[in-house]
Chains A and B, each alone.
Chain A
Amino acid sequence: MITTLLLADDDPDDRLLVRDALEEGRLTVDLRLVEDGEELMNYLHRRGRYSEPSNSPHPDLILLDLKMPGKSGHQALEEIKATPELRRIPIVVLTTSKAEEDIVRAYDLGANSFIVKPSSFGSLIETMKTLGGYWFELITLPPGKIER
């Protein structure tokens, strides 16, 4: 079964780069993109244009940017981790921020990992490979498509 990776990032460049990096790193994942926290929550709760399950396959991993317009990554993170049926989805924060308070806050809110966006594309590929190797091969993800 193909793995679903959900990327929440408001920056179209970053969305493009992540997509390219996944391709170049030869990671076969079903990449789904949302542009802010609000949309992320709509996706997860299958609301609005995500009400059709085929539009919103259960993500095996969420890549979450923190600085997003409207509902921020921190807010979305807090909401997801407070929702019993969503809290098991692993969340990797992928952000430009290196600020200690952002890191601490993200972990406090239950983030599973925190990655500072690499400044070069090469390291982004490496990052994606590492992420894939870890989350999709090494470890066992929580089972099943959870009823939402």
Chain B
Amino acid sequence: MIERKQAEEERSFLAAIVDSSDDAIIGKTLDGIITIWNRGAQELYGYSAEEAVGKPISILVPPEHPDEVPSSLERVWQGERVERYETVHVTRAGRRLDISLTVSPINDSEGNVVGASTIARNITERKEAERRLAAQHAVTRILAESATLGDATPRILQVLCESLRWEYGELWSLDRQACVPQRVRTWHVPSVDLTQFDEVARQHTFSRGVGLHGRVWESGEPAWIIDAAEDANFPRASVAAKAGLRGAVAFPILLGGEVLGVLGFYGQEIQEPDGEVLQMMSNIGSQIGQFMERKQAQEALRRSEERLRSIVTNAPVVLFALDCEGVFTLSEGKGLKALGLEPGQLVGLSAFEVYREVPRIVEAIRRALAGEEFSVIVETAGLIFETWFSPVLLGESGEVADVIGVAMDITQRKRAEEEHERLSRQSELILNSAGEGIFGLDRQGRTRFANPAAAAMLGYELEELIGRCQHDLIHHSHPDGSTYPREECPIYTALQDGAVHQINDEVFWRKDGTSFPIEYTSAPIHENGEVTGTVVIFSDITERKKAEEDLRRSEATLAEAQSIAHLGNWEWDAKTGQVWWSDETYRIYGLEPGVIAPTLDTVTEIFHPEDRHLLRRAIDQAFHQDKPYGFEHRIVRPDGMVRWVYRQVKVVRRQGEKSLRLIGTVQDITERKEAEEEKARQASRAALRSEVNAALAEGGTLQSMLQRCMESMVRRLGAAFARVWTLNEEEDVLELWASAGMYTHLDGPHSRVPVGQYKIGLIARERRPHLTNDVLGDPHVHDKEWAEQEGMVAFAGYPLVIEDRLVGVLAIFTRERLAEATINVLASVAGTMAQGIERKRAEENLRAYAARLNRSNRDLQDFAYVASHDLQEPLRKVRTFADRLDAKYGEVLGKQGRDYLERMEGAAARMQDLIDDLLTLSRVTTRAQPFTPVDLNEVAQDVVSDLEASIDQSGGRVEVSGLPTVEADRLQMRQLLQNLIGNAVKFHREKETPVVKVYGRLSQKRGGELSGGPAEGGVCQIIVEDNGIGFDEKYLERIFVPFQRLHGRAVYEGTGMGLAICRKVVERHDGDITARSAPGRGATFIVTLPFKKSERNPQEGWS
């Protein structure tokens, strides 16, 4: 009993403990049916014991975790204890709680598991704090990782939704300009269907104070809605309710007190405002705000950097920076292009290196690195750069950290400046060098410029004029000394009227108070369309005035003077037609004074028919102008003599009379005129001489040369035409070579004149000039009708003779008589031309000969090459078939037959050798290679090793030493040495070991002086010396001739071409070859070669 009671007490005590425990203690059967439900459980879950007991434990499990209970029960059945298992339970009100569970099995006395006890502790607060912290960290991390808010938002929304158990999150961004919120991002739990809610939100905008976001926007504070469905100020309440959204929280994204956006979250649970959450939200809000600020700042920075970069890149200059070592750390700007550089190309290079060649830049960099700030102008690569250097100092130490600089291409500006300066200088020079005085005045009439001539004329120093009022200083008074007011001065009026004034009756006053007459022009100076001053150009006309004065004074004595000068007077009254002549006039006209009463007709008759138009013009002119004028014309005296006169005419109009009267003078100027004409003729003749000489001296063909001579004759002697024939000796015919003047054709009846026929042929046969000033009366002139028609007066024909040989005939026709002097010139020109033709012909012959020779040489060479080449073929066949014959039918042929065959083969072999050598000889020039420096030692060594077999065979030796390097054709040098050394070895004496020495030495030039070596166009000698059989020097010439042999073939084999080839090679190298020898005394071959091929003998065209 007691035991039972004790046991009961014990139980009730335990029950009390269970009941009063703050933790929820729940007992359940193995089926999960609740059996025990303490007060803690009641408080925690909101179910009373009555409501809970008998219900399955799964009422506490949220629908999203359906497996939780079975799995924990499973473990308990196994007798296991599930300790501090954290999960989520749902309360009666539907709220989710974080719960820490410990589930233990309940054993009966036998140890069987009969149920389970659960101790549940609410850890929601801790969990939420953790989640908040985690969320905050996550947000911080997301912001740190995101480039833009746009990137960050979806993740922030998700993180906050997930960690704070909201089903739906959205971000509203506030457009500051439009003052309209815009929903930019949303996120929701995937399991919840929020399409409609989302749709409504998308269609709405919210105003300040309206709805959750509007409230936050207005207040700048987080806001909480406990149950959206119930909230009056929530426009989306109905759709929220449909979506099952109840609780909501929204908070602002703040930046400096301004709301930039609103983040809102919605959940399916009704939620009480939670200080912690709100605190966290405001933290996150300001964090996002800061993020945005930072991003905005970064964006601004980026933009400004971009702008800066764009400025730097596109600046029409070169921007650069150097570090303290002078190494480029920046090189940008469009200006680089002008220097042919890419942006950044200089970076990393040392400026000292880059501008090593430009000392001024190097100096500038050095100074800049020393801390100096300045600019230099340097011209480099045709461009002028002005470069500013600006050192950047390092903090307080004052050391130079960097140098930044700008280089600007000022080439164009500079050039323009230079051009402007040059032009200014030029203008100044022109003005300063002018002989006339020049003033430049400003608008106020002050002297801005005066040239030295002006100063000198006025007796002032230049400085005394500048800046002074010109009028007051030198133009203040009239010639008579009366004051000349400035207002009346045309120089000043020019400033107003902009007109040009020419004045010649004023004076300028010198410094010493004297005056002088001047003539001046004043003109306004226009600059940019405005009159900015006046330019005055003046000259001292003292002399002219004086001359005019003198003339006036002498007029009195004029009449007397005229009579002395046989100057005639005349008058003609146009009205009456009366003509009056002075006595002198009659005399000039070749008449006795007073013998006739002259009329205009008489005057007309006196005028030379060709000059009568001048009389008509003079009369015409008289009616139109008043100025006196004069002209020269010819008169014909009654005896037919032609005289030249100078006639002056003056028109006199009487006041009130309509008629006019001409008065004038007439002066005989025949002698002067003749002297002038003679002078002109002399000049023409001289010109003719020099032109003919020039034509003959110049190059060109004979024809062009002669044509020029003929043209000169026409031009200088006034010939109607001039022709020249040259003699074709073979046919004894004169051939027309040049013709100028009225006839220029070379064909026709006069193109070939047989010697002895017509006047030209006669001149040629008689070798005497034929001259006449009376063509019409000359028996030799055939076509009189033609001569008369063309007005031919004179003919001159000259044989062109040189050293008793006739080379041609020169002839001219003229319409004027030929003067003695002209004839003399013609004679001398004919002599000159004869020489010219002879020389030209000789030249042309020579040239033709040279061309023929060249062609023939070339042909020969080609022939030698082609022939020898083509000769090889049949020869080879002869040998081959002889060989075949011997091989196949040798037996049949018999001994003698085979002997013949052998001789045939021998002959063919020799011919082969001859052809080979001929080919080699012709190739010396046809297959020449360009000249290169050739070390003859190397060549000689090569040759020696090629000849090794025959040298060994003879038991001799070849010593090569000290050969020069020359510019030569290497292959030919090898041929040369091969032949010479080969010969030296070949022609050795019997029972004597052949010793061949090959060496070089400096030589004497052909002029005799010692050669200066390779540099000064010197020559060298190559000596090949042997101790062989030698030869008699009388054969010296022969040994170098092709196919010449001194020995029988039986004794020494060979074709006799070797030395011929040697000579040809040496000659091609502008050198020579000779030898010294005596029979039995060995031979020494001496080759002389220039070190360098001389310029005057280019290798091409050598034939």
Task: Determine if B877 and A122 form an interchain contact, defined as CB atoms under 8 angstroms apart.
Answer: no
Contact with B along A92-120 (1 / 0, CB 8 A): 00001101110000000000000001011
Contact with B along A78-104 (1 / 0, CB 8 A): 000000000000000000110111000
In Å, the complex CA distance between A13 and B398 comes to: 99
Which among A11, A101, A120 is the interface contact of B883 at CB below 8 angstroms? Answer: A120
Task: Determine if B884 and A119 form an interchain contact, defined as CB atoms under 8 angstroms apart.
Answer: no
Task: Determine if B873 and A11 form an interchain contact, defined as CB atoms under 8 angstroms apart.
Answer: yes
> Is the C-beta of B879 less than 8 angstroms from some C-beta in chain A?
yes
Which among A17, A96, A99, A120 is the interface contact of B873 at CB below 8 angstroms? Answer: A96
Q: How many residues of A contact B (CB 8 A)?
A: 15
In Å, the complex CA distance between A20 and B881 comes to: 12
Q: For A11, give the chain B residue with the smallest CB separation.
A: B873
In Å, the complex CA distance between A120 and B883 comes to: 7
Which among B880, B927, B971 is the interface contact of A119 at CB below 8 angstroms? Answer: B880
In Å, the complex CA distance between A100 and B927 comes to: 9
Tell me which residues across on chain B come within 8 A of A17, comparing CB atoms. 880
Task: Determine if A120 and B879 form an interchain contact, defined as CB atoms under 8 angstroms apart.
Answer: yes
In Å, the complex CA distance between A146 and B881 comes to: 38
* Residues in B873-907 with C-beta less than 8 Å from chain A: 873, 876-877, 879-881, 883-884, 887
Task: Determine if B872 and A124 form an interchain contact, defined as CB atoms under 8 angstroms apart.
Answer: no
Which among A13, A97, A99 is the interface contact of B877 at CB below 8 angstroms? Answer: A13
Q: For B876, give the chain A residue with the smallest CB separation.
A: A119
Q: How many residues of B contact A (CB 8 A)?
A: 14
> Is the C-beta of B972 less than 8 angstroms from some C-beta in chain A?
no
Write the nearest CB–CB distance from B1065 to chain A, whole angstroms: 16
In Å, the complex CA distance between A119 and B971 comes to: 25
Which among A99, A101, A117 is the interface contact of B876 at CB below 8 angstroms? Answer: A117
> Is the C-beta of A134 less than 8 angstroms from some C-beta in chain B?
no
Task: Determine if B873 and A121 form an interchain contact, defined as CB atoms under 8 angstroms apart.
Answer: no
Tell me which residues across on chain A come within 8 A of B873, comparing CB atoms. 11, 96
Tell me which residues across on chain B come within 8 A of A101, comparing CB atoms. 927
Task: Determine if A121 and B876 form an interchain contact, defined as CB atoms under 8 angstroms apart.
Answer: no
Task: Determine if B883 and A121 form an interchain contact, defined as CB atoms under 8 angstroms apart.
Answer: yes
Tell me which residues across on chain B come within 8 A of A96, comparing CB atoms. 872-873, 876
> Is the C-beta of B912 less than 8 angstroms from some C-beta in chain A?
yes
In Å, the complex CA distance between A119 and B909 comes to: 9
Q: For A13, give the chain B residue with the smallest CB separation.
A: B877
In Å, the complex CA distance between A82 and B921 comes to: 36
Task: Determine if B884 and A121 form an interchain contact, defined as CB atoms under 8 angstroms apart.
Answer: yes
Those 3 A-B pairs whose CB atoms lie nearest each other, nearest first:
A121-B883, A120-B883, A121-B880
Which among B869, B887, B912, B927 is the interface contact of A121 at CB below 8 angstroms? Answer: B887
In Å, the complex CA distance between A122 and B879 comes to: 11
In Å, the complex CA distance between A120 and B873 comes to: 12
Write the nearest CB–CB distance from B45 to chain A, whole angstroms: 92
* 20 pairs from A and B in contact (CB 8 Å cutoff): A13-B877, A13-B880, A13-B881, A17-B880, A20-B884, A96-B872, A96-B876, A99-B927, A100-B927, A101-B927, A117-B876, A119-B912, A120-B880, A120-B883, A121-B880, A121-B883, A121-B884, A122-B883, A122-B887, A124-B880
Q: For A97, give the chain B residue with the smallest CB separation.
A: B869
In Å, the complex CA distance between A96 and B869 comes to: 9
Interface centre among B876, B879, B881, B887 (most CB of A within 10 A): B876
Tell me which residues across on chain A come within 8 A of B912, comparing CB atoms. 119
In Å, the complex CA distance between A100 and B971 comes to: 11
In Å, the complex CA distance between A100 and B879 comes to: 24
Write the nearest CB–CB distance from B930 to chain A, whole angstroms: 14
Question: What 17 new A-B contacts, CB under 8 Å, besides A20-B884, A120-B883?
Answer: A13-B877, A17-B880, A96-B872, A96-B876, A97-B869, A100-B927, A100-B971, A119-B876, A119-B879, A119-B880, A120-B880, A121-B880, A121-B883, A121-B884, A121-B887, A122-B883, A122-B887
In Å, the complex CA distance between A96 and B880 comes to: 13
Tell me which residues across on chain B come within 8 A of A124, comparing CB atoms. 880
In Å, the complex CA distance between A11 and B870 comes to: 12
* Residues in B913-968 with C-beta less than 8 Å from chain A: 927
Tell me which residues across on chain B come within 8 A of A100, comparing CB atoms. 927, 971
Write the nearest CB–CB distance from B279 to chain A, whole angstroms: 84
Tell me which residues across on chain A come within 8 A of B880, comparing CB atoms. 13, 17, 119-121, 124
Write the nearest CB–CB distance from A40 to chain B, whole angstroms: 20
Contact with B along A26-37 (1 / 0, CB 8 A): 000000000000
Tell me which residues across on chain B come within 8 A of A11, comparing CB atoms. 873
In Å, the complex CA distance between A1 and B996 comes to: 59
In Å, the complex CA distance between A105 and B563 comes to: 103
Write the nearest CB–CB distance from B799 to chain A, whole angstroms: 60
Write the nearest CB–CB distance from A66 to chain B, whole angstroms: 12
In Å, the complex CA distance between A99 and B926 comes to: 12
* Residues in A1-35 with C-beta less than 8 Å from chain B: 11, 13, 17, 20
Write the nearest CB–CB distance from B52 to chain A, whole angstroms: 95
